[in-house]
Copies of this chain bind each other. A is one copy, B any other.
């Protein structure tokens, strides 16, 4: 159920982003922007659209919030891959934007994808009430900016040159910002669009986001570049503190498992309507992608 919905969501988001990028025609950035916004798991889009569907919100509406968060995520990846940041040459199994084009293009593509994210949220298709769309602009800005995702990135960069490795508490905070904030925004989006209480989805997303990051660290040690689509072993090589270095491989797996239980429990009140979201939580820690 989760896998089918994920594929379905991915298709809808691709179409939506293609529509947003259509007016760019053959402008210099059109091609690298399309390239950078294609592919990926679309987990954030799934969280938006499934949490929305669970509240009776149509895909035709929620897809704009899904496209927004995927554009924003894509921007963060393009900038994160830059030589001055993580210096990655492979992303989603393809050359990164600065490798395929150049660094200037990668900076500008990331910039324009961030702008596109906010533009998606202004579409009347998302919600008839401008107040709701504006609230989503404000919350996405908070989740992704200098007190959210970008702060997590900055902490991550600072950790690279720090003489003392991060503690478990510090790395948990860092990840809650770097990946957790956007995952949280995505899961809560459905409740926000429906005017429902986002609290259960907030708890679900907090557990899911952390489980996701712990699994990323596990895959970095035990994964396979052919399956993950990115270089592995680089965190360990860099001597960075990770959930695996702090908890051990078994400890990290146990923690991820217990977080998935927390995520499932958080959605209890939704009963069967939350089946796909529960499956997503289990998938996140079992994935090899």
Contacts and interface: CB of A to CB of B under 8 A. Distances in A.
A151 B84 contact: no
Count of identical protomers in the assembly: 2
A62 interface: no
Interface stretch (A128-136, A192-200, A218-226): A128-136
A5 to B, nearest CB: 29
B157 A111 contact: no
Interface in A20-39: 21, 23-24, 27-30, 33
A172 interface: no
Interface string A101-113: 0111101101110
Nearest to A76: B111
Interface residues of A, number: 51
A157 to B, nearest CB: 5
Binding site secondary structure of chain A? helix
A1 interface: no
Interface stretch (A44-52, A138-146, A208-216, A253-261): A138-146
Nearest to A143: B115
Interface stretch (A116-124, A236-244, A274-282): A116-124
B119 A141 contact: yes
A245 interface: no
A158 interface: yes
Given A119-B142, A119-B145, A122-B141, A150 B104 contact: no
Contacts of A84: 102-104, 107
A146 B82 contact: no
Given A27-B154, A134-B122, A147-B24, A85 B104 contact: yes
A129 B129 CA distance: 11
Nearest to A155: B28
Contacts of A131: 130
A115 B150 contact: yes
Contacts of A122: 134-135, 137-138, 141
5 closest A-B pairs by beta carbon, nearest first, are A115-B145, A112-B146, A84-B103, A122-B138, A119-B141
29 contacts: A23-B147, A24-B151, A29-B146, A29-B154, A75-B111, A79-B107, A79-B108, A79-B111, A82-B103, A82-B104, A84-B102, A84-B103, A84-B104, A85-B104, A108-B153, A108-B154, A108-B157, A111-B150, A112-B150, A112-B151, A114-B114, A116-B141, A116-B146, A118-B118, A118-B141, A119-B145, A122-B137, A130-B130, A130-B134
Given A24-B146, A112-B151, A115-B144, 13 more contacts: A23-B147, A28-B157, A79-B107, A82-B107, A85-B104, A108-B154, A111-B150, A119-B142, A119-B145, A122-B134, A130-B131, A130-B134, A134-B137
